[in-house]
Chains A and B, each alone.
Chain A
Amino acid sequence: MSDSAALLTTPLNATHRRLGAKMVDFGGWDMPVQYKGILDEHRAVRTGVGVFDVSHMGELVIRGPQALDLVNWIATNDASKLKTGQVQYSALLYEHGGFVDDILVHKVSDDEYFICVNASNQEKDFDHIAAEDHFQATVENAGARYAQIAIQGPKAVELCQRLTTTLLEPIRYYWFTDGEFAGVPARIARTGYTGEDGFEVYVSPEDASTVWDAVCSLGAQPCGLGARNTLRLEAKMALYGHEIDATLSPFEADLAWMVKMDKPNFIGKRALEKQKAAGIHRKLVGFEMVGRGIGRDGYEIEIDGEKAGWVTSGGPAPTLGKNIGLCYLPIAHAVPGQKINVIIRGVGVEAVTVPTPFYKRAK
């Protein structure tokens, strides 16, 4: 057991404990991994509504007359395409083209961008961006000012609408609006990490339990990080430290779409140009187990008896009733239908690469 006294906590920590959540050390945060059970929570999000405390996620705010220039310099996607109220998935890269982090950029106004970053990366991301001080823009590490609650599932819109006078249906996927939610000021973004429809609501830490309790009282199932992981894996959403990290590039991670090479310049562009010219050697692909067993993060992969790659994430896909995973493979083998062996406790177990995402919701 870890020493919870040394861990960071969200404003909902006492709530999770009251609900009987199983708590774990998640990158230095004391977070709920499950309440009733991961499978139950997973199903709730696929068929109804689940609610997640994701207040450990970080927030950075970039402000100033050159805020857009700074965002476009540090991130791979083209923020100049954003309209006010729009959200964009993007990446911070090092000069060598590896990931500092993956981020969500929200355009608040012409001179303000709100960026959601991974919990354990927030200090690193802040330092990385703040070091680029050659723009008329400031960077604020605003993580302590925000709690974040994700409400996800096919019935999320209907449930959330009962808690706000803001009309939610017109908010399109990857757009947000500022308003009131459960009677408190909130930034309401139609984004998520589960493959379902829903919202990520940013509020002040003092208001977190008001929002949480209101959502739960309308029947949303409290969900932990365990279900968040099985859901995001089915939807093939990258997890930092697994599918992406400092040694991997967006091209390798199958995220070329979030890199705009026609932008004038950004950190890492030169390295990516070289990589593009030379061609990448490995790529992220999905697989399904054919033999019995589960390919887990870090397991080696062999093709024709030769070491070929590794699993980045793996586990059961409750919606599909299969055991699935993501892995890096040499580019020649990174196509659907490739037979591979996942080395599970020293034994090669048959698997096959498949198209991704594994799960896509009906629209």
Chain B
Amino acid sequence: MYPENYSYTKEHEWVLVDGDTGTIGITDHAQSELGDIVYVDLPKVGTAIAQHTTFGSVESVKAVSDIYSPVSGEIIAINESLSTAPEKLNSDPHGDAWLVKVKLKDLSEIPGLMSAADYKKYVGA
């Protein structure tokens, strides 16, 4: 369920690091807790984001939830498909429904995040 090569946050986001690019999404646990997701608010390409600060939000039918960035960097891509199909976040949160890609600023932030095993323990999965 939780890919081994991803790193995870206590706020239920994940990041997949490939060279100096990080792909960020929310976890399966997060989508399950939120329920039916109906809207995703993401920043523009070029926006600088800082680790553990909020950069967007995900809204379900019943609530709005901030997204916190697992890493610092600059946004180089956003997943445009989520603007018309936010429900993809419920069905494929670790794959097709990634949120943004960032150019990583500081690779040393990664080891401070949770491994898949740590995250599974954290959410009791």
- A residues engaging B (CB < 8 A)? 22, 33-34, 37-39, 42, 226, 229-230, 292-294, 296, 315-316, 318, 323, 345
Contact = CB atoms under 8 A, between A and B. Distances in A.
Contacts of A323: 39
Contact of B57 (A37, A42, A226, A345): A345
17 contacts: A22-B35, A33-B62, A34-B35, A38-B62, A39-B36, A39-B61, A42-B61, A226-B62, A229-B62, A292-B39, A293-B41, A294-B39, A315-B61, A315-B62, A316-B38, A316-B61, A323-B39
Contacts of A292: 39, 41, 83
Nearest to A225: B62
Contacts, number: 38
A293 B62 contact: no
Contacts of A42: 61
Interface residues of B, number: 12
Interface centre among A39, A318, A323 (most CB of B within 10 A): A39
A349 to B, nearest CB: 10
A315 B62 CA distance: 7
Interface in B66-88: 83
Majority DSSP secondary structure for residues of A touching B: mixed
A345 B56 CA distance: 10
B39 A38 contact: no
A226 B41 contact: no
A293 B61 CA distance: 12
Interface centre among A42, A318, A345 (most CB of B within 10 A): A345
A226 B39 contact: no
In the A-B complex, the 10 residue pairs with the smallest Cβ-Cβ separation, listed nearest first, are: A38-B61, A39-B36, A316-B38, A226-B62, A37-B36, A38-B36, A294-B59, A316-B61, A38-B35, A34-B35
A226 B64 contact: no
A345 to B, nearest CB: 7
A37 B35 contact: yes
B39 to A, nearest CB: 6
Interface centre among A34, A294, A296 (most CB of B within 10 A): A294
A292 B64 CA distance: 14
Contacts of A38: 35-36, 60-62
A34 B61 CA distance: 11
A226 B38 contact: no
